[in-house]
Amino acid sequence: MVAADPTSLHFVADEDSSKRRQILDGASKVFMDLGFDGASMGEIARAAGVSKGTLYVYFADKSRLFEAIVEEKAIEQGKVAFNFDLDRDVATTLRDFGQAYILLLCRPGGGSAIRTVMAIAERMPDVGRRFYQRVLEHTINRLAEYLEAQVKAGDLAIDDSTLAATQFMQLCQASLFQPFIFQAKPAPSREQIAKVVDSAVRMFMATYQVKGE
């Protein structure tokens, strides 16, 4: 029996990964441009530069392909780093977090992914649920952990840190996210984001900062 060539196996694995990446990139563009219902496997194959036969080798159907893209984007966004250094001033930390969060949420082109997931969530609830858990809920929990630490340090007075984290994130979205996601306005500028987030920080601190701080 002839032993397998490790170099050859490594090349095949790399080629397989590269082909999958090629398909995901092409499919992502088609889904973002046409939506889930408007996208066809034929159109995706053309955009990815592969045959339909090759496409079906990697993904059984359009739903599986869409799920793979959503999963990838959720993991990618879940890795975004926010500075929650406990030695920093709370207001500064919240301001930096809020601006980074809205820049991520309302980045040019980013709305298409959210809109597509929202449109398909009723039909594919598992996809919507996983996206929410890995992106939104994950971020809420990270902020809530920071707020809880500040409560223990005596800087904030919060009964429910998860609720407070959600409130702050919603305050940061005010007048920015909904017009963007419904395509009523383009992605907000950094100046617009800074103005809204500054207001959110003032409101949050007025409610939850320990008096005398």
Average pLDDT, the chain: 88
Q: Which two tokens stand for residue 14?
A: 């790399």
State the Cα–Cα distance between residues 67 and 69, nearest whole angstrom.
5
What are 194's two structure tokens?
A: 């800074």
Cα separation, 165 vs 145, whole angstroms: 9
Of the two residues 73 and 20, the one the predictor is more confident about is 20
Give residue 146's Cα distance to chain centre. Answer: 20
User: What is the reported pLDDT for 120?
Assistant: 86
pLDDT, residue 115, reads: 83
Q: Among all chains, which residue has been given the structure tokens 């694995």?
A: 13
Q: What is the distance between the alpha carbons of residues 24 and 27, in angstroms, rounded to a whole number?
A: 5
List Cα–Cα distances, 29 to 25, 100, 211, in angstroms: 7, 25, 51
Based on its alpha-carbon atoms, the radius of gyration of the chain, rounded to whole angstroms, reads: 22
Question: In this predicted model, what pLDDT tens digit does every residue of 21-32 receive, in sequence order?
Answer: 999 999 988 988
Confidence of residue 9 (pLDDT cuts 50, 70, 90): very low
To which residue do tokens 């939850």 refer? 208
